[in-house]
């Protein structure tokens, strides 16, 4: 696998090798990537073994020795070229992404642009890895600190953003002078392979970026956790898996970044412009059919506007176009797999059994599709209020006052994203400062952007991705003291 293969329809599955040390790697076994919209096999991908994982470690270590010595402008130039290639191939990458996990094509185009923005940002940030000097109490000593790459990195990514979760980790790693092994999710490894092919095409040296595809993530990951030469784990995915990999990283004291699950509250105060608030909820909730870690899971609406809000939201949700992800007009595609659909169905059934009312949707009309849904009369004790649903379901609850809603919003082990809608500036400050979350959108349902720090508190993770913060995660501080001859 070295270049972007034209995306075919379901007649003949793509055959893709892993990408190890600048070469195609295969184990003799493959696993299938299923197009969730059609159920067809979209690709057959190399199923890497522990032996291939060990080769990847050796290649990452060997490449690190030379990559860390490249100059910042050299790394910057390569990243700029990679960015240009990604933009040039935006449409074919978006088609592949859409085919492997069902994201509507128009949204997939947006994800490729978002993914490319991280590459562009870190191409620039690569040249701004500054050091500091500081005074000594001894006249003959000169003290300074500079930043070094942490070393070879193991990056584990989820299926819901097959492009952006790769570049958000890999672009800063490469900019810092690290090498990286990406293990993409088994549901959506194709986009990662295509991105790596483009990195090679622009001259990215062998071993700097490798893609280890595997149907058994635990087996190949074990090799990474056993190796003291892999100096960092960066993981995006569920809290349960993140916690386990964090523990496994302890043995070799790896640096760790974890971007985990969320359970985002969206608070709408009675002073809000209802139509504008609904616009932001739509953006926040229904992207990627609700399969986004920063999607709202609980919409708290102040009682005086509850009825009007529910009516306005229902009207907009009713109008969403569900359909073939390949159609540029489609807004809601299928869920990624049968487990995802089963979870959404379970949450809705549990809520309805406990008294929630379905205002729109509530059913699965075909295959892996679940209709965009609005639930009213949602109340404590329902599973949907504590577990991440990861589906196109908007649960609405009433609240009465500010203190009450802050308490409710913070009453979760998660701390990724929260949203507040109000026209009162003082309230916007008060509430955003009281929310125990890494990201707060004030009148903004889609705050994510490459130059901002993205990440959570509590069970939502450790560290930040994006902006200058994302680069620091791949750098160690080295202190040097020089004693001059006296
Ligand atoms: P997941 O935890 O099931 O899988 C994530 C990755 O971990 C995949 O690559 C998978 O192969 C790998 N993995 C699973 N078990 C493993 C094991 N035993 N050893 C090593 N690797 C293993 O999550 P998912 O279903 O792919 O993604 C959805 C989750 O990701 C949601 O909880 C979502 O909130 C979260 N997410 C978080 C962010 C964020 O930035 N905070 C972004 C996107 C998704």
- Give tens-digit pLDDT for 67-112: 999 999 999 999 999 999 999 999 999 999 999 999 999 999 999 9
- Give tens-digit pLDDT for 429-465: 999 999 999 999 999 999 999 999 999 999 999 999 9
pLDDT of residue 218: 98
Place of tokens 């999710």: 185
Q: Is 261 in the pocket of ligand 1 (CB under 6 A)?
A: yes
**Of the candidates 127, 121, 147, 119, which has an alpha carbon nearest to the alpha carbon of residue 209?**
119
- Give tens-digit pLDDT for 164-194: 999 999 999 999 999 999 999 999 999 999 9
Ligand 1 centroid, distance to 389 Cα (angstroms): 14
> Is residue 275 among the annotated active site residues?
no
- Which residues are paired to 465 by β-bridges? 454
Q: How far apart are CA 367 and CA 195, in angstroms?
A: 30
Between strands 264-268 and 417-421, the pairing is parallel
Q: Is residue 485 part of a domain?
A: no
CB 142 within 8 A of CB 129: no
381/274 same-domain check: yes
Q: Give the structural domain span for 216.
A: 12-260+460-479
Quick check: 5 pLDDT over 70? no
Q: Is 101 in the pocket of ligand 1 (CB under 6 A)?
A: no
Q: Is residue 1 part of a domain?
A: no
Structural domain total, the chain: 2
Q: Is residue 2 part of a domain?
A: no
3-state secondary structure of 22: coil
Atom of ligand 1 nearest to the CA of 186: 11
Q: Is residue 283 part of a domain?
A: yes
Q: Is 414 in the pocket of ligand 1 (CB under 6 A)?
A: no
Of 259, 402, 465, 473, which is the active-site residue?
A: 259
Residue nearest to atom 37 of ligand 1 (CA): 260
55/111 same-domain check: yes
23/139 same-domain check: yes
CATH number of the CATH domain containing 412:
3.40.309.10
Q: Is residue 6 part of a domain?
A: no
221/272 same-domain check: no
241/302 same-domain check: no
CATH number of the CATH domain containing 218:
3.40.605.10
Of 293, 295, 402, 473, which is the active-site residue?
A: 293
Q: Is residue 4 part of a domain?
A: no
pTM: 0.96
Instruction: Give Cα 478 distance to the centre of its chain.
Output: 30
Q: Is residue 455 part of a domain?
A: no
> Is residue 259 among the annotated active site residues?
yes
Q: How far apart are CA 307 and CA 304, in angstroms?
A: 8
185/249 same-domain check: yes
Atom of ligand 1 nearest to the CA of 241: 2
């Amino acid at each position: 696998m070295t270049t972007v293969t034209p995306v075919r329809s379901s007649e003949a599955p793509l055959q893709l090798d892993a990408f190890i040390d600048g070469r195609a790697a295969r184990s003799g076994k493959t696993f299938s990537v299923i197009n969730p919209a059609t159920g067809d096999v979209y690709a057959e991908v190399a199923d890497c073994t522990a032996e291939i994982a060990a080769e990847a470690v050796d290649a990452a270590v060997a490449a690190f020795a030379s990559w860390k010595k490249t100059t910042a402008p050299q790394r910057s130039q390569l990243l700029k070229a990679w960015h240009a290639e990604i933009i040039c191939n935006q449409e074919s990458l978006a088609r592949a992404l859409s085919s492997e996990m069902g994201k509507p094509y128009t949204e997939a185009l947006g994800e490729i642009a978002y993914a490319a923005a991280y590459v562009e940002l870190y191409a620039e940030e690569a040249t701004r890895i500054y050091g500091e000097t500081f005074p000594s109490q001894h006249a003959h000593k000169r003290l300074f600190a500079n930043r070094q790459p942490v070393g070879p990195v193991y990056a584990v990514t989820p299926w819901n953003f097959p492009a952006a979760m790769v570049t958000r980790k890999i672009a800063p790693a490469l900019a810092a002078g690290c090498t990286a092994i990406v293990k993409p999710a088994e549901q959506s490894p194709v986009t990662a392979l295509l991105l790596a092919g483009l990195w090679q095409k622009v001259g990215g040296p062998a071993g700097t970026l490798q893609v280890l595809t595997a149907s058994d993530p635990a087996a190949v990951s074990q090799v990474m956790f056993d190796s003291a030469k892999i100096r960092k784990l960066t993981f995006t995915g569920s809290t349960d898996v993140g916690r386990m990999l964090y523990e496994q990283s302890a043995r070799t004291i790896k640096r760790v970044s974890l971007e985990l699950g969320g359970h985002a509250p969206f608070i709408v105060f009675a002073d809000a412009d209802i139509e504008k608030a609904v616009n932001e909820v739509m953006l926040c909730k229904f992207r990627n059919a609700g399969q986004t870690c920063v999607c709202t899971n609980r919409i708290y609406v102040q009682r005086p506007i509850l009825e009007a809000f529910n009516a306005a939201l229902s009207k907009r949700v009713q109008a969403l176009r569900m359909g073939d992800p390949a159609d540029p007009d489609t807004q809601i595609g299928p869920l990624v797999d049968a487990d995802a659909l089963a979870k959404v169905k379970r949450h809705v059934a549990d809520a309805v059994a406990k008294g929630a009312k379905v205002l729109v949707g509530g059913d699965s009309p075909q295959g892996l599709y679940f209709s965009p849904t609005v639930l009213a009369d949602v109340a404590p004790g329902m599973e949907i209020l504590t577990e991440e649903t990861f589906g196109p379901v908007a649960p609405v609850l009433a609240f009465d006052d500010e203190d009450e809603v802050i308490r409710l919003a913070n009453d979760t082990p998660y701390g990724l994203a929260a949203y507040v809608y109000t026209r009162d500036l003082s309230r916007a400050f008060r509430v955003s400062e009281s929310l125990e979350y890494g990201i707060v959108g004030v009148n903004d349902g889609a705050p994510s952007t490459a130059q901002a720090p993205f990440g959570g508190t509590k069970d939502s993770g450790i560290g930040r991705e994006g902006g200058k913060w994302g680069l620091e995660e791949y750098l160690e501080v080295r202190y040097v003291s020089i004693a001059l001859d006296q």
